[in-house]
Amino acid sequence: MTSHGGGRLDVLVAGAGPTGLTLALSAHDHGARVRIVDRRPDECRHSRAFLVQPRTLEVLRPYGIAEDLVVHAAPARVHLHLHGRCLPVDAGRLRLPRTAFPRFLLVRQGEVELFLRRALRARGVEVEWGTNLHSIRTGDDGVVGVGTRDGCPTRIGSRFLAGCDGTASTVRRAAGISWNGAAYPQKILLADIELDGDLHPGVAHIAIHRRGVLFLLPLGDVARWRVVTAQQPNRSPASGERRFVQQLLDEAQLPADVTEVAWSEWVQIEHRLASRYQSGPIFLAGDAAHTCSPAGGQGMNTGIQDAANLGWKLAYSAAGRTQDVSALLRSYEQERRPVGRHVVSLSDALFRAEAGPDPVCSLVRHAFSRAGAPLVPPLLRAPLLSAPALRVLAQFDRRYRHSPLSIGTAGTGRTMDHWIVTRPAAPGTRIPDDEVTVDGAPRRLQELTATPAVHVLLHRDTRWQAPGRAGHRLRIHRIGSWPGTGIAIVRPDGYVGFRSTTGTAGAVEWLEMIGALPG
C-alpha cells in the first residue's frame, strides 16, 4: 500500500464537494491521516446550492467554518411575488430557538467549498485535482483505489475509502451498491443573468404562479442574479436563451428586463437512495448516497451532516482503540440512511407542490398566488405555526434514538437540569444551546462543546474519574448549574451518546465502545 505524509493512510476521500471536504476535515481533526482527490481539473464550477441550514452550521462550528459562513452570507431579505403583488418578508422573524445559529443563510455552494478548502489547507491537506479513480480493490487491510492523476497511472491505498463523488459515483458502482429511484420529468434551469427594471437589488425574489415557483437570487457566480426554476422538457429555449428567460420572468410577473444571460445550465434532477451506505471499508456520503430535488434546500446540508457523522467514526476506528470497530462503523448507515430516506421523501413532496404539472398542484399554486398574500404576515408573526416547519427544514428533529451508540440508563428526580430529563436531550438527539454555569461563569452549551472531541458533562455533585488523562479526544466539564449526580456524554457531531440521570454506571464502557479513551 502507498503511504502519505510518512505513515499509513487512514481515510481516502473521493470527491471535493461540500461533503467530501467536510469529511476530510472531520477525519483529520479527529486524528486520521487523510487524502482527498477529485476527478475535476480544478475547483472551478458553478454553484448549485445556496441555502445553509442552522444544523449544518452547528456541525461545522468545531472546525472553524460556521462563523465565516455567517459573516459572508447574503442579507436575509426576501420579496414574495404573488400575481404581480410584491410582499416583503421579514426573514429575521424566522428564528429557531435554543441554537447558536437561529437563521437559515443564503450562501453560494462555491463559498462553502472555499472556506472548507482553506481550513484543510491550513492543516496541510490539499485537494488532489485531476485524480480519477477507475477501479477499487478491497482486502483484509483496507482498500486500494486505482486510477490516473493528470493522465498518469496512480494507486492509493487506505484503511477506508469514502465515496463523496456525486450522483454518478464511481465508488458506488465499484462497490456494487444499487441506486434506487428515478429521474423527474422536469429539469432545473440555472442561469446567471443581468437585469434592468424595478426589482430591489440584494433581495431574494420568490415568485409563485400557476406553472411553478421561480427563484431570483442575488447570488450569481458570473452575473448579479441567479435564476432557479423547474421546467417541463417540452419547454426549450428554441427562440434564444435570453428571450426564453425573459418569458419565464414575464410569466412570474417580475418587473424586469433580461439584458444578459452570462451562463446557463439545464440540470436533470432525480430522487434516489443507495441501497447501502457501507460495503466493507467503503462508505458513501452526500449525493453518492442520496439525491433529491432542490426543494427545501436539503441536499448539500444533508451531505455535510453525513460527513460530520462519518468523519470521527472513521478516525476513531483507524486509531484502533474502539471496543468493537465494526459496530461503530455500522452505526453510520444505521443512523444516516433513515435520514437520507426521509430527506428524499420530503424533497419529493415539496417539489411536487412547487413544480408538479398535475392540475391539483397547478390549481393550488394559482389560488395561492391570487389570494395568499393576506395569509403570509400572520404566519410569520405566529412562531407556533412556523416553528415546526422550520425545525423540519433545519433537520433539528433528526434523532438517532435506535442507534447502538445511543445509550441511557433510567432515572428520576426533579433535581436534574431540565434539558437532561426532557425529550430534546435524550440519547441520540442534538444538544440545545442552553446557558449553563461552568467554573462559576455563564457558558453556552454549544460553545462549550465546539471543539473536535467527545465532551463529558458532569452534574454539580457527580463523582467520576475518567480512566487515564483527558486529552484531545476527551474533554470533561463540570456543570455547576446542574444539581444532582448525573452525566451526559456528547459525541463529536453534537448528539448525546450516553446519559445517566443518577450516577455514572456505564459511562466508561460507552467511551471504550467508541474508542474515546486515551491510549
Each residue's pLDDT tens digit, 484-516: 999 999 999 999 999 998 899 999 999 999 999
- Domain final residue, candidates 253, 270, 287: 270
Domain end, chosen from 245, 270, 295, is at 270
215 lies in the same domain as 262:
yes
> For the whole model, what pTM was predicted?
0.93
More confident residue, 258 or 366: 258
Note whether residue 95 is domain-resident. Answer: no
SS3 content of the chain, % helix, strand, coil (to 5): 35, 30, 35
Domain end (from 270, 292, 318):
270
Residue 142 and residue 282 share a domain: yes
Are 414 and 499 contained in the same domain? yes
> In this structure, is residue 381 part of a structural domain?
no
Using one digit for the tens of pLDDT, what is the confidence trace for 139-196? 888 999 999 998 899 999 999 999 999 999 999 999 999 999 999 999 999 999 999 9
Same domain membership, residue 168 and residue 311? yes
DSSP state letters, 281-329: TEEE-GGGTEE--STTS-HHHHHHHHHHHHHHHHHHHHHT--S-HHHHH
Query: With 80 as the cut, is the pLDDT of residue 468 above it?
Result: no
Same domain, 265 and 281: no
The verdict on 325 and 313 lying in the same domain is yes
Answer yes or no: is pLDDT of 420 > 60: no
How many domains in the chain? 3
Write out the three cell numbers for 263: 451562463
Count of CA atoms in the C-beta half-sphere (13 A) of 309? 36
Q: Residue 359, Cα to own-chain centre: how many angstroms?
A: 34
DSSP bridge partners of 455: 475, 490
Domain at 426, CATH number? 3.40.30.120
**Domain shared by 449 and 473, yes or no:** yes
Residues 14 and 138 in one domain: yes
Q: Is the pLDDT of residue 129 over 70?
A: yes
In sequence order, the β-bridge partners of residue 12 are: 35, 161
Is pLDDT at 215 greater than 80 in this prediction?
yes
| Same domain assignment for residues 129 and 25 | yes
Give every CB contact of residue 465 below 8 A, 6+ residues apart in sequence: none
Residues 130 and 198 reside in one and the same domain = no
On whether both 215 and 307 belong to a single domain, the answer is: no
Domain that holds residue 124: 3-50+108-178+275-357
C-alpha 130/C-alpha 142 separation (Å) is 23
Assigned C-alpha cell, 403: 442507534
Answer yes or no: is 32 within a domain.
yes
Are 40 and 130 part of one and the same domain? Answer: yes
